[in-house]
Amino acid sequence: MDPKKMEAGIRLFLDGLGERFAGDDLEKTPGRVARAWADDLASGYAVDPAAELTFVDAPSPCGPVLAKDIRFASVCVHHLLPFSGFAHVAYLPAARLAGLSKLGRVVDAHARRLQIQEHLTGRIAATLEGVLSPKAVLVVLDAEHTCMTLRGVRKEGSRLVTYAATGLWADDAAARREILDLIAPGRRALLTNA
């Protein structure tokens, strides 16, 4: 990342809006915005998601592992507006068991980049699949997009739900329903038509 280029671009953007940097508060805004993007909103570009996913040997037998309601925030690549919500990350261990906090770190490492939610969902699943080699992975993201609530159709409260499944949970509808019931009891129909 190049914060100086980001700052110059933000200054140009504000100038395009008609702002003339008359006050001290606005004069410092381009630098503040560049730091916010570099240090937080786009910090995932500086992180290798796979390196975040440490593991130990899984006990045998080992049932599904599910981390629910992991808060995440990302930025839509189309309008550079935020979307945020909850990630539900499940996997069926084979030989490797991830550290619980590491699942949240993988979500954040991927979320803090420009993208669409559909890609984010698949990238999280692919990282778990690639590092853990589990029997199955299921990632469900449920988010509100400000590109739909603050602009365009302005449908406040609307949410986008996406999911990605691998292994057993991609191939076996009954097994997928079982894990979806753990994620959202009574709401399974939203996700089982695919």
**What band does 82 get if pLDDT is binned at 50, 70 and 90?**
very high
Which tops the pLDDT comparison, 188 or 63?
63
Q: What domains appear along the chain, each with residue ranges and CATH number?
A: 3-41 (no CATH), 48-190 (3.30.1130.10)
pLDDT of 57 higher than 80: yes
**What band does 186 get if pLDDT is binned at 50, 70 and 90?**
low
pLDDT at position 78 is 95
pLDDT at position 187 is 55
Overall average pLDDT of the 148-154 stretch:
86
Identify the bridge partners of residue 55 per DSSP, sorted by sequence position.
Answer: 98
The per-residue pLDDT of the chain, averaged, comes to 92
pLDDT of 124 higher than 50: yes
**What band does 194 get if pLDDT is binned at 50, 70 and 90?**
very low
**What band does 185 get if pLDDT is binned at 50, 70 and 90?**
confident
pLDDT at position 188 is 47
CA gap 105, 131 in Å, rounded = 14
